[in-house]
C-alpha cells in the first residue's frame, strides 16, 4: 500500500485538476505521484561522521538549507559556438550546411530547434514553475539547463527529450514516463516532472552535486587507478540492477552520467531510460559505448534483413564494460575507431598486463554476441567484486602493507581446501575446490544431503541411482569417480553429459550457469589422467567465464606446474596466495616453483599463523635460509658484504626456529638445529661469519659449534626408531668429537 494521500486532486500543471490521486498513490491521468517538497539527494550536505544516525526515509527531508549550498555552475555566454552544433538525434557534429538544410546529414533528424540557438534562456519560466538559471553542459539530446523550482526552492536540471512524430512511439514514451517517475533508489537521480515549453519536451531531474566519473578521469591524467575504477563501477551496479528488475534499461551509460560525491555515486540522466519491451520509441546511446547489435541497427536504420535490435540488459552490460575500459585506459585507444566494438590486446596496456582478470572481465562484458556476455547485472556484480578484491590485495602486497582482506564469498565454488599439495598430501588437484551445486537444479536438495567425505565409490553408486538424473547429478558422479581413482570412468560419464548437454540444462551453452562446469571437470579429468597439457585449455575457458573467481587461477597453476612450466604456474600461485590467505596450497605451490631461496622464503611467509600448516611453513623458511647461507659460501661477493648477509640470514633462521620449536616434532626440530649449527661452522671457517655472538644459545666459536653439532646428533639419534639411521648418527657424532686423554 502507498503512503501517499488518495482522493485528492493532482495539482501538476499538465493535469489542471483533472486527475486525482488514486489508491496506489499516483494520478489517474498523468500517472505521477502527488507533488511534495523533498530535498534532492545531490544537494544533501556531506556527512561529518560516517556513523550518523540512519535517515528516516518515510518523511520528506527538510529543504530549508538547499539554497545555502549555492546554485549550479552555468555557462555565462548564451551563444552556442559552432563546435557545439550537434544533432539531437545521433549526437554527431554538424556543419553550417547541415544547419541551413534543417536536417542531420547522418540520420536525417530534423534540426528543431536550430542547434545554433538555445531553446531555453536565462530567466525563462517553464510551466510557471521552473526558473531557468542557464545552460550547464551539452548532452546527447541537446543542452542541459539548470533551473530553480520556485515552489520548493530546490535546484533542478531540465534536459530535452528526443522528438518523435510517430504516434505509437509517443504512446510508448508516455507510458515509460509513468515508470520513470516511480523510480526510487538512493543511487539514481530522482525524476520530478516532464514539462513542455514552446513545443519542446523536457525531463526535470534533481540537480546532483559532485564530479562525474569523466571529470575525475580527466583530472587524474586521463586514467583512474584500477582499484578506484572497479570500485566505482561496483558501486553503480546496484542501481542498474534495480532498473533491470523493474523492466527498465538505462541505454546510455558512460562516465559522464555517473556522479561521485564523497563515497557515494549517483546515476544521472534517466532521460534515455526505457522499458525493455519497448520496440517502437526512439532511443539514445553514445558511440563507443553502444553495443554492436544496436550500433549496426542504428547505422542501417533497421532496414537490413535481420530484425532491428533495441536496448536490452545485454547492451547495458556492454556499456558497463566500455565505461570501465575508459576509466582504465582513457579515450585514446580507438574507442570510436579501431576498437569501436573490441578491446586492445592485453600486452598493449600495462594495467591489463598487471591484472589479467580485469582484462578478461572486460572481454566477457563486451562480447560481440549478447548471449555470451554476463547473463545479468547480478552475475557481473559478483565478478567485479572478486576482481576489485584481487586488485586491492595485490596493491597491498606490493606496498608491503598487511591487508589481510578476506576474499568475497564465492557463489560458484566451495571454500579452498586446507591442503598444501605436497607429496604427503593428496595429489595436487585435491587442493582445488569443487563447483557448488546450481541451486536451480531440480536435484539440488538431494545432492546437498549426500556427505562429501564418504567413500567415493559408494557415493558414485548412490548418485547413479538418483532421480531425476540432472546435469548436476551427472557432474557429481564425474567428481566422485575421480576421487575413487577411476579417471577413465569419469571421462566416459563426462562425454555422456556433454552429448546430452542440451537436455540436461544447457551444459554446452557458455551463457548457462552450468556451461563452465563441464570445462572444469574436463580439466580435472585431464589432470587425473596425467595430461596437464589437455587440462590447460578448459581451465582457461573457465577463467574467462568467471574472471572474478580464484579457483580457475589455482587450477591453471596446478596444471602448469605439472606440465613443467614453473614460471607460468608461479604467476597464478602468486595471485591466488595474495588474494586469499587461506589458500595454503597456493603458497606452498609458489614456493615449489621458485628457484631462489629468498623467493621461497617469501612464499612460505604468506601462510597465516592461524593455519595448521604454519609450523611446516616456518620450518621450510628455516631450511631455505640455511640453503641460501650455504650458497653464500660459493659466491664471489666481497667479504664484508658476505658477512653482513650471513649474519642477517643466520639470525633470522635462529629466530624462526626458536619461535616455532614448540609446534614441531622432536626429529623436525633437531634436524633444523643440526643444519643451522653446521652451516654456522662452515661460514665461520670460511671467514664469512664473525666470531661474536651466539647461535641458538651456543657461542659462535669453532669448539662450541662442534660440541653443539655433536650433542644434537646424539639427541636426534635418541628420537630415531630406525636402527641403521640411529647407528649412522651416533657414528657421525663420534667422528666429530674432540678426543682427549682423560
- pLDDT recorded at residue 370: 95
pLDDT digits (tens, 9 = 90+) for 341-355: 999 999 999 999 999
Closest CA to 132 of 114, 115, 150: 150
Q: What is the 3-state secondary structure (H, E, C) of 95-111?
A: CHHHHHHCECCCCCCEC
> Which residues, 6 or more positions from 195, have their beta carbon under 8 angstroms from its beta carbon?
13, 14, 126, 127, 129, 130, 158, 201, 202, 204
pLDDT digits (tens, 9 = 90+) for 384-398: 999 999 999 988 755
Number of C-beta neighbours around residue 675 at 10 A: 21
Mean pLDDT score of the chain: 82
Closest CA to 709 of 742, 741, 685: 685
pLDDT digits (tens, 9 = 90+) for 510-568: 445 457 999 999 999 999 999 999 999 999 999 999 999 999 999 999 999 999 999 99
> Fold for domain 113-204?
Phosphorylase Kinase; domain 1 (3.30.200)
Closest CA to 62 of 82, 91, 39, 33: 39
Catalytic residue among 252, 278, 519, 580: 252
Catalytic-residue membership of 49: no
pLDDT exceeds 50 at position 402:
no
pLDDT digits (tens, 9 = 90+) for 484-508: 999 999 999 999 888 876 444 455 5
Among the residue ranges 36-45, 133-142, 146-155, 232-241, the one predicted with the least confidence is 36-45
Task: List for the chain the helix, strand, coil content (%; round to 5).
Answer: 45, 10, 45
Closest CA to 253 of 275, 225, 286, 282: 286
Q: Do domains 221-299+306-397 and 611-741 have the same CATH topology?
A: no
Q: Do 410 and 548 touch, CB atoms closer than 8 A? A: no
pLDDT digits (tens, 9 = 90+) for 127-153: 999 999 999 887 656 788 999 999 999
- pLDDT recorded at residue 306: 54
Does the domain at 410-435+533-602 match CATH 1.25.40.10? Answer given as yes
C-alpha cell at 408: 568475497
- Looking at domain 611-741, its CATH architecture is Alpha Horseshoe (1.25)
- The arithmetic mean of pLDDT across residues 473-484, rounded, is 92
CATH class of 221-299+306-397: mainly alpha
Q: Do 459 and 437 touch, CB atoms closer than 8 A? A: no
Point out which residues pair with 134 in neighbouring strands: 146
Domain ranges of the chain: 1-31, 113-204, 221-299+306-397, 410-435+533-602, 438-512, 611-741
Question: At 495, is the secondary structure helix, strand, or coil?
Answer: helix
> Which residues, 6 or more positions from 393, have their beta carbon under 8 angstroms from its beta carbon?
403, 405, 407, 578, 579
Give percent of the chain with pLDDT exceeding 90. 54
- For residues 569 and 53, which has the higher predicted lDDT (pLDDT)? 569
Amino acid at each position: 500500500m502507498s503512503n501517499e494521500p488518495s482522493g485528492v486532486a493532482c495539482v501538476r500543471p499538465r493535469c489542471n485538476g483533472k486527475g486525482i490521486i488514486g489508491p496506489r498513490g499516483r494520478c489517474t491521468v498523468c500517472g505521477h505521484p502527488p507533488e511534495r517538497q523533498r530535498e534532492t539527494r545531490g544537494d544533501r550536505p556531506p556527512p561529518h561522521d560516517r556513523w550518523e544516525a540512519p535517515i528516516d526515509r518515510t518523511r520528506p527531508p527538510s529543504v530549508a538549507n538547499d539554497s545555502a549550498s549555492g546554485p549550479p555552475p552555468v555557462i555565462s555566454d548564451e551563444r552556442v559556438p559552432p563546435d557545439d552544433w550537434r544533432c539531437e538525434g545521433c549526437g554527431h557534429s554538424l556543419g553550417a550546411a547541415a544547419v541551413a538544410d534543417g536536417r542531420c546529414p547522418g540520420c536525417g533528424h530534423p534540426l528543431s530547434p536550430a542547434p545554433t540557438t538555445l531553446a531555453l534562456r536565462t530567466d525563462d519560466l517553464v510551466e510557471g514553475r521552473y526558473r531557468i538559471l542557464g545552460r550547464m553542459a551539452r548532452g546527447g539530446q541537446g543542452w542541459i539547463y539548470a533551473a530553480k523550482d520556485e515552489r520548493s526552492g530546490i535546484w533542478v536540471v531540465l534536459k530535452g527529450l528526443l522528438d518523435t512524430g510517430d504516434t505509437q512511439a509517443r504512446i510508448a514514451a508516455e507510458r515509460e514516463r509513468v515508470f520513470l517517475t516511480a523510480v526510487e533508489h538512493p543511487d539514481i537521480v530522482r525524476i520530478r516532472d516532464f514539462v513542455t515549453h514552446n513545443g519542446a519536451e523536457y525531463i526535470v531531474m534533481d540537480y546532483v552535486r559532485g564530479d562525474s566519473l569523466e571529470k575525475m578521469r580527466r583530472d587524474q591524467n586521463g586514467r583512474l587507478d584500477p582499484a578506484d575504477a572497479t570500485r566505482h563501477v561496483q558501486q553503480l551496479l546496484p542501481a542498474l540492477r534495480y532498473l533491470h528488475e523493474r523492466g527498465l534499461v538505462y541505454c546510455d551509460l558512460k562516465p559522464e552520467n555517473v556522479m561521485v560525491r564523497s563515497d557515494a555515486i549517483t546515476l544521472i540522466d534517466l532521460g534515455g531510460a526505457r522499458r525493455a519491451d519497448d520496440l517502437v520509441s526512439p532511443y539514445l546511446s553514445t558511440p563507443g559505448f553502444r553495443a554492436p547489435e544496436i550500433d549496426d541497427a542504428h547505422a542501417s536504420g533497421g532496414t537490413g534483413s535481420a530484425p532491428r535490435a533495441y536496448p536490452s540488459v545485454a547492451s547495458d552490460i556492454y556499456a558497463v564494460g566500455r565505461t570501465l575500459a575508459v576509466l582504465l585506459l582513457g579515450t585514446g585507444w580507438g574507442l570510436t575507431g579501431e576498437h569501436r566494438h573490441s578491446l586492445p590486446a592485453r600486452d598493449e596496456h600495462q594495467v591489463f598486463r598487471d591484472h589479467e582478470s580485469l582484462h578478461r572481465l572486460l572481454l566477457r562484458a563486451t562480447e560481440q554476441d549478447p548471449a555470451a556476455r554476463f547473463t545479468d547485472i547480478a552475475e557481473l556484480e559478483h565478478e567485479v567484486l572478486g576482481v576489485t578484491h584481487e586488485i586491492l590485495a595485490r596493491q597491498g602486497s606490493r606496498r608491503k602493507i598487511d591487508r589481510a582482506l578476506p576474499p568475497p564469498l564465492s557463489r560458484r565454488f566451495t571454500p579452498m581446501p586446507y591442503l598444501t599439495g605436497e607429496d604427503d598430501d593428496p595429489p595436487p588437484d585435491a587442493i582445488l575446490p569443487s563447483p557448488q551445486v546450481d541451486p536451480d537444479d531440480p536435484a539440488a536438495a538431494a545432492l546437498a544431503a549426500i556427505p562429501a567425505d564418504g567413500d567415493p565409490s559408494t557415493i558414485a553408486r548412490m548418485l547413479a541411482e538418483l532421480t531425476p538424473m540432472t546435469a548436476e547429478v551427472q557432474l557429481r558422479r564425474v567428481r566422485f569417480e575421480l576421487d575413487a581413482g577411476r579417471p577413465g570412468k569419469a571421462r566416459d560419464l563426462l562425454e555422456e553429459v556433454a552429448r546430452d548437454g542440451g537436455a540436461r540444462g544447457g551444459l554446452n551453452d557458455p551463457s548457462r550457469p552450468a556451461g563452465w562446469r563441464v570445462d572444469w571437470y574436463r580439466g580435472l579429468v585431464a589432470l587425473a589422467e596425467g595430461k596437464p597439457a589437455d587440462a590447460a585449455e578448459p581451465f582457461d575457458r573457465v577463467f574467462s567465464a568467471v574472471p572474478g573467481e580464484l579457483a580457475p587461477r589455482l587450477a591453471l597453476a596446478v596444471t602448469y606446474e605439472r606440465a613443467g612450466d614453473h614460471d607460468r604456474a608461479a604467476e597464478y600461485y602468486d595471485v591466488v596466495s595474495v588474494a586469499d590467505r587461506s589458500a595454503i596450497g597456493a603458497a606452498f605451490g609458489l614456493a615449489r616453483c621458485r628457484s631462489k631461496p629468498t623467493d621461497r622464503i617469501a612464499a612460505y611467509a604468506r601462510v597465516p599463523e592461524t593455519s595448521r600448516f604454519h609450523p611446516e611453513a616456518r620450518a621450510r623458511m628455516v631450511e631455505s635460509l640455511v640453503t641460501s647461507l650455504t650458497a653464500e659460501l660459493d659466491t664471489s661477493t666481497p667479504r664484508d658484504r658476505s658477512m653482513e648477509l650471513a649474519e642477517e640470514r643466520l639470525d633470522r633462521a635462529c629466530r624462526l626456529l626458536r619461535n616455532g620449536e614448540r609446534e614441531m616434532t622432536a626429529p623436525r626440530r633437531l634436524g633444523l638445529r643440526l643444519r643451522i649449527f653446521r652451516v654456522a661452522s662452515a661460514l665461520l671457517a670460511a671467514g664469512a661469519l664473525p666470531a661474536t655472538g651466539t647461535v641458538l644459545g651456543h657461542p659462535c666459536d669453532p669448539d662450541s659449534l662442534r660440541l653443539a653439532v655433536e650433542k644434537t646428533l646424539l639427541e636426534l639419534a635418541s628420537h630415531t626408531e630406525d636402527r641403521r639411521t640411529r647407528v649412522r648418527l651416533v657414528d657421525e657424532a663420534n667422528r666429530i668429537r674432540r678426543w682427549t686423554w682423560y
